Structure 1
Amino acid sequence: MKAALQNYQDRMRRVLDHIDRHLDADLDLDTLSAVAAFSKFHFHRQFTATFGLSVHRYVQLARLKRASHQLAYADALDVTDIAMDAGYDAPDAFARAFRQRFGQSPSSFRKSPVWEPWLAAFGPLDNARSKLMQTTFSTSDVMIRDVPPTKVAIMEHRGSPEALRATIQRFIAWRREANLHPSTSPTFNVWRSERRPASPADYSVDLCVGTDRPVAGCGEAIKAGEIPGGRCAVLRVVGYTDNLEPAALYLYRDWLPASGEEVRDFPIYCQRLSFFPEVPEHETVADVFLPLK
């Protein structure tokens, strides 16, 4: 029974991977049921029973998520092209669907995103993925590295996690103006609080880009700093790297007590190595660093 369940879940996981990899393709029931090797007459109900939403809604949300990221973070992309990539035949149809889902037109979202409805809209998508996409870690996944110090420019986020995406948007705009592209200047997040502290006002994270350039004159939002060098336990996460809390919990709860190591006086942090929507979400990569003595 356990092997049969695992096989069933693997087939459903293949479907989610296929959707994420082929958002520009025709993702009809015939195609997706064939990927899962299930009968097309039952696949729709199987998918809904497994993930809590229909195939059509899942595909629509996945495409709208990519489109919203492109609107917010990729100014060079035309709204019409984004609409076509999202599977809509005309910008008007895309605008209606976007407004219905997020309460803003695509052009309004591009200028000034309101992130609370965005987060609520993608709750069902995140819940569906979490059912079968939970990553398990083992001690063999953790490497101990000697990490060199890295000078960084920092934009601090202090306050509610719900406002983090607005800070990320400002950070991306600033580093674009500063010509600090992720391909040449590494990206780090330093977590100075829990992901969900008791009081949202206590949430604290630093958005960092590695650079030796002076940051004086870049405005109050940017300051110079350094991620110190030293020994670190490093855990790589591949796929759906929006939430790295499970990796951090594994390092603290499971790996650290069994390792005999002691932590150093610097917060846990991550380096983001690839980004959605430049790559499909299941191909995003991040390394989580736990500083050690």
Structure 2
Amino acid sequence: MAATTYPERINRALDYIQQHLDQPLSLEDVARVACFSPFHFHRIFRFQTGEPLNACIKRLRLERAVTLMTQRRPAGPRNAASLTEIALACGFGSSTDFSRSFKQHYGVPPSQFDVAGFRRHQRERWQDYVADSDHRHLLDGLPPGENPDHFAVTFRDLPPRTVAYRRIHNSYREGAVTTAAAELLAWAESRGLADGQWLGYTWDDPEVVPPEKCRYDVGLEVPPITALPDGEVSRLTFPAMTVAELELRGGIDLEMRALDWLYGTWLPSSGCVPTDEPCFEAWIGRPFAHGMEHFELRLQLPVTRA
């Protein structure tokens, strides 16, 4: 198989890891998904991603744990989620293993971790990373309880969706996402698929994950029978899901306020909990059809009733 297909095969491995973080993940199993021999896979994975397989799995589990810790509240549907339950939900064999790994990574055990303070710090770092001083304010957070834009959620049931995608690592680099979108658009136009539903979604919360580690997919819904993508275009099938949906037409500041309101104000009182699927940007038309200053899309947060 040509070397140009290596990124697609590594993406398959990363998709498998992301979907099975709560389960044992052996080198042999992940290598099999990527169609590599176990003997060579760990070297190829490290070269393609910049970190060893076991380190990547542990980091993703810890980042998911921080996200779940964010969702723990003094009252409400997540109240029963103890640190032990979070540890098991993230694939750690015991609370002791979780606590030891967490302290090694974050400097303190999970019981002493200031989740809110950590998220504030990470957001400030993310703002510095992606915006200059003249535009940094567009990424300011919206305080919980505020809704100056009068956002309102509608629920929508979506069937299983097969998505052809280009994945961008270190996705906040200038031009990285628009370049990938243009490449996928050219791929889709050559196959008569370009007028389907375009999607964007990030696998990583920049208030939890360092911006240089964040991954973003530019995707396009395709028929399940579409031939396997070639080169660096990958394919993933999302299950049927219920999403909380917001339609947006405006700039990046509007989208940031919408995300803050969705997670910080609406979700805690909604009676819903988010699933492990990413929050989608479902583009109205083709991606970046209005440039980088104006977006027309629907935010789709996958949820379940608590």
| TM-score under structure 1 length normalisation | 0.51
The DSSP-based 3-state class of the residue aligned with 1:104 is coil
CA–CA separation in structure 1 for the residues paired with 2:39 and 2:14 = 19
Compute the RMSD of aligned alpha carbons.
Answer: 4.2
Whether contact under 8 Å (1:266, 1:291) holds in the other structure is yes
Query: Residue deviations 1:103-128, cap 9 Å, x none?
Result: 222122266543488x5xxxxxxxxx
1:196-211 aligned at under 5 Å gives the runs 196-198=131-133, 202=137, 204-205=139-140, 207=142
Match of 1:161 in 2: 124
The alpha-carbon deviation at position 266 of structure 1 amounts to: 5.5
Whether contact under 8 Å (2:99, 2:110) holds in the other structure is yes
1:195-274 aligned at under 5 Å gives the runs 195-198=130-133, 202=137, 204-205=139-140, 207=142, 222-226=145-149, 236-240=199-203, 242=205, 267-268=251-252, 269-270=254-255
The alpha-carbon deviation at position 195 of structure 1 amounts to: 4.2
Whether contact under 8 Å (2:202, 2:216) holds in the other structure is no
CA–CA separation in structure 1 for the residues paired with 2:63 and 2:49 = 17
Match of 1:92 in 2: 96
Q: What amino acid is aligned across from residue 280 of structure 1 in structure 2?
A: D
Q: 1:285 aligns with which of 280, 283, 286?
A: 280
The alpha-carbon deviation at position 163 of structure 1 amounts to: 8.7
Q: What amino acid is aligned across from residue 286 of structure 1 in structure 2?
A: E
CA–CA separation in structure 2 for the residues paired with 1:48 and 1:291 = 36
The alpha-carbon deviation at position 291 of structure 1 amounts to: 6.0
Mean CA deviation greater in 71-80 or 24-33: 71-80
The verdict on how the C-alpha distance between 1:161 and 1:104 changes in structure 2, with shifts beyond 3 A counting, is same
The verdict on how the C-alpha distance between 1:235 and 1:96 changes in structure 2, with shifts beyond 3 A counting, is same
1:106-185 aligned at under 5 Å gives the runs 106-109=110-113, 112-115=116-119, 119=122, 161-162=124-125
5+ long unaligned stretches in structure 2: 74-78, 152-196, 207-213, 218-248, 268-272, 285-293, 297-306
The DSSP-based 3-state class of the residue aligned with 2:148 is strand
Q: What amino acid is aligned across from residue 226 of structure 1 in structure 2?
A: D
CA–CA separation in structure 2 for the residues paired with 1:42 and 1:32 = 12
The alpha-carbon deviation at position 225 of structure 1 amounts to: 2.0
CA–CA separation in structure 2 for the residues paired with 1:70 and 1:89 = 17
Q: Determine which structure has the larger helix proportion and give its number.
A: 1
Q: Rg larger in 1 or in 2? A: 1
The verdict on how the C-alpha distance between 1:58 and 1:6 changes in structure 2, with shifts beyond 3 A counting, is same
Match of 1:184 in 2: none
Q: Percent identity?
A: 24
The DSSP-based 3-state class of the residue aligned with 1:50 is helix
Match of 2:62 in 1: 64
Match of 1:42 in 2: 40
CA–CA separation in structure 2 for the residues paired with 1:246 and 1:60 = 20
Q: What amino acid is aligned across from residue 79 of structure 1 in structure 2?
A: L
CA–CA separation in structure 2 for the residues paired with 1:17 and 1:245 = 12
Q: What amino acid is aligned across from residue 87 of structure 1 in structure 2?
A: G
Match of 1:168 in 2: none
Q: How many residues align?
A: 186
The verdict on how the C-alpha distance between 1:288 and 1:40 changes in structure 2, with shifts beyond 3 A counting, is same
Match of 1:152 in 2: none
The alpha-carbon deviation at position 100 of structure 1 amounts to: 1.5
The alpha-carbon deviation at position 73 of structure 1 amounts to: 2.0
The DSSP-based 3-state class of the residue aligned with 1:72 is helix
CA–CA separation in structure 2 for the residues paired with 1:9 and 1:63 = 22
Whether contact under 8 Å (2:200, 2:281) holds in the other structure is yes
Q: What amino acid is aligned across from residue 278 of structure 1 in structure 2?
A: P
The DSSP-based 3-state class of the residue aligned with 2:274 is coil
The verdict on how the C-alpha distance between 1:11 and 1:284 changes in structure 2, with shifts beyond 3 A counting, is same
The DSSP-based 3-state class of the residue aligned with 1:24 is coil
The DSSP-based 3-state class of the residue aligned with 1:42 is helix
Query: Residue deviations 1:125-167, cap 9 Å, x none?
Result: xxxxxxxxxxxxxxxxxxxxxxxxxxxxxxxxxxx72398xxx
CA–CA separation in structure 2 for the residues paired with 1:27 and 1:98 = 19
CA–CA separation in structure 2 for the residues paired with 1:241 and 1:83 = 19
